[in-house]
């Protein structure tokens, strides 16, 4: 799709090219537009771009749908040197057939579609309920399309059913004899157009098929400051018991992207919670849980609005707005 056509359809087509002080002030920039086919995958497009924009200069980000990234070259620079660029990008894939009326896009005036979410739970589901409330109040530009659980009788699943959200049982087990296979799980979620997966107190290891099917699109909330107090065996009250036993003066909550192992994926956001000398695990858990609800909603809101960019070293960072990074 030609850039000009896309520009007319998306509000995100404003180009923001920041010149570094080292770049000659007389730098004139011209835009090299990229023609784009609908089948272009953001990743291949970005890797194509990346070799054009030297890694120290370019910051690329992955959003939903197909991204159009414009390469700004400063002609007055030395041959081969590229001025630093930080560009807004446009997302062809999420535009709703040129939706003009912002109401069609759930209150956002840029014609983008709300993200479809799947939330994985195993217990009470308070983080899930906080996310769901955020979606209903439009604090999160998304909708919970599915709940997945290894314990379909848990309170989180009861809440889903009360709110007409379909529940999938995964994996098959004593609490879920009707559980589906990893392949069926991927097919169901992909088939329903789910774009992001949110683990919220889910206590099983996600299968690698799912992790690979959703690169940079699965988040987890952990009730401690990773990488401390994480990994196999660290879940629920066990985490807070370990924190208190260790004598740590601070704990907190972590939102991270999910990889194939427990709690080792890239950290996206954290909040600190002081530990009190006389804390019981339950008292500490309660204070941390309050922070989790706020932090997770904040992070999921950024995810659904494509306000996460990835630093060259692989650290994801939330943008408070298009022009301002917020390292939380
Ligand atoms: N592929 C991934 N799957 C999951 C991750 C992850 O980071 N990558 N995070 C966990 C959530 N989690 C911590 O945040 C976590 C959950 C459970 C365990 C654990 O030790 N589980 C026990 C079984 C517990 C039970 O079934 O009652 C175990 O595996 O022996 C550690 C960390 C969710 N999945
Ligand atoms: N390692 C995973 C883990 O311990 N997750 C934790 O389980 C609790 C679930 O509460 P919820 O079901 O009320 O959201 C939350 O504190 C969450 O951080």
Chosen domain end from 59, 74, 89: 89
Chosen domain end from 89, 117, 136: 89
Our answer on whether the CB atom of 257 is closer than 6 Å to any ligand 1 atom is no
Count the domains in the chain.
Answer: 2
- Within-domain flag for 325: no
Q: What is the pLDDT of residues 241-275, one digit of tens each?
A: 999 999 999 999 999 999 999 999 999 999 999 99
Claim to verify: residue 145 and residue 233 sit in the same structural domain: yes
Claim to verify: residue 305 and residue 233 sit in the same structural domain: yes
Active-site annotation holds for 240: no
Our answer on whether the CB atom of 214 is closer than 6 Å to any ligand 1 atom is no
Beta bridge partners of 307: none
Claim to verify: residue 167 and residue 249 sit in the same structural domain: yes
Q: What is the pLDDT of residues 176-194, one digit of tens each?
A: 999 999 999 999 999 999 9
Could you count the other beta carbons within 10 Å of the beta carbon of residue 297? 20
Decide: pTM greater than 0.95. Answer: no
Our answer on whether the CB atom of 258 is closer than 6 Å to any ligand 1 atom is yes
What's the complex ipTM?
0.98
d(CA 37, CA 282): 54
pLDDT score for 47:
35
Beta bridge partners of 219: 198, 257
What is the residue with the minimal CA distance to atom 6 of ligand 2? 201
Q: What is the pLDDT of residues 115-173, one digit of tens each?
A: 999 999 999 999 999 999 999 999 999 999 999 999 999 999 999 999 999 999 999 99
Q: Which two tokens stand for residue 11?
A: 């509000």
CATH number, domain containing residue 131: 3.40.50.170
Claim to verify: residue 54 and residue 156 sit in the same structural domain: no
Claim to verify: residue 130 and residue 180 sit in the same structural domain: yes
Claim to verify: residue 74 and residue 102 sit in the same structural domain: no
Of the listed ligands, the closest to the CA of 156 is 2
Query: Residues near 10 by Cβ (< 8 Å), separated by ≥ 6?
Result: 90, 91, 92, 95, 110, 111, 112
Domain that holds residue 140: 95-318
Chosen domain end from 57, 73, 89: 89
Confidence of residue 286 (pLDDT cuts 50, 70, 90): very high
């Amino acid at each position: 799709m030609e850039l000009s056509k896309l520009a007319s359809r998306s509000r995100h087509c404003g180009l923001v090219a920041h010149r570094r002080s080292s770049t000659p002030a007389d730098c004139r920039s011209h835009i090299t537009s990229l023609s784009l086919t609908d089948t272009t995958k953001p990743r291949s497009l970005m890797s194509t771009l990346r070799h054009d924009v030297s890694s120290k200069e370019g910051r690329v980000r992955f959003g939903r749908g197909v991204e159009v990234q414009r390469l700004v070259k400063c002609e007055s620079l030395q041959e081969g040197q590229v001025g630093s660029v930080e560009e807004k990008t446009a997302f062809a894939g999420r535009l709703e057939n040129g939706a003009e009326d912002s109401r069609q896009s759930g209150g956002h005036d840029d014609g983008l579609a709300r993200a479809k979410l799947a939330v994985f739970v195993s217990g009470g589901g308070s983080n899930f309920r906080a996310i769901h409330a955020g979606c209903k109040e439009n604090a999160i530009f998304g909708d919970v399309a599915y709940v997945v659980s290894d314990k379909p009788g848990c309170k989180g699943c009861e809440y889903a059913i009360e709110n007409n959200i379909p529940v999938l049982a995964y994996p098959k087990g004593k609490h879920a004899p009707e559980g589906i296979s990893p392949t069926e799980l991927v097919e169901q979620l992909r088939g329903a157009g789910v774009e992001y997966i949110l683990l919220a107190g889910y206590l099983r290891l996600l299968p690698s098929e799912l992790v690979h099917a959703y690169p940079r699109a699965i988040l987890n909330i952990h009730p401690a400051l990773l990488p401390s107090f994480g990994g196999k065996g660290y879940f629920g009250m066990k985490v807070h018991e370990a924190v208190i036993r260790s004598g740590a003066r601070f704990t907190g909550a972590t939102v991270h992207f999910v990889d194939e192992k427990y709690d080792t994926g890239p950290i996206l956001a954290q909040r600190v919670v002081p530990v009190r000398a006389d804390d019981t695990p339950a008292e500490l858990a309660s204070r941390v849980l309050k922070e989790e609800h706020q932090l997770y909603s904040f992070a999921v809101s950024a995810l659904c609005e494509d306000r996460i960019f990835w630093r060259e070293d692989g650290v994801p960072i939330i943008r408070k707005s298009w022009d301002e990074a917020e390292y939380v």
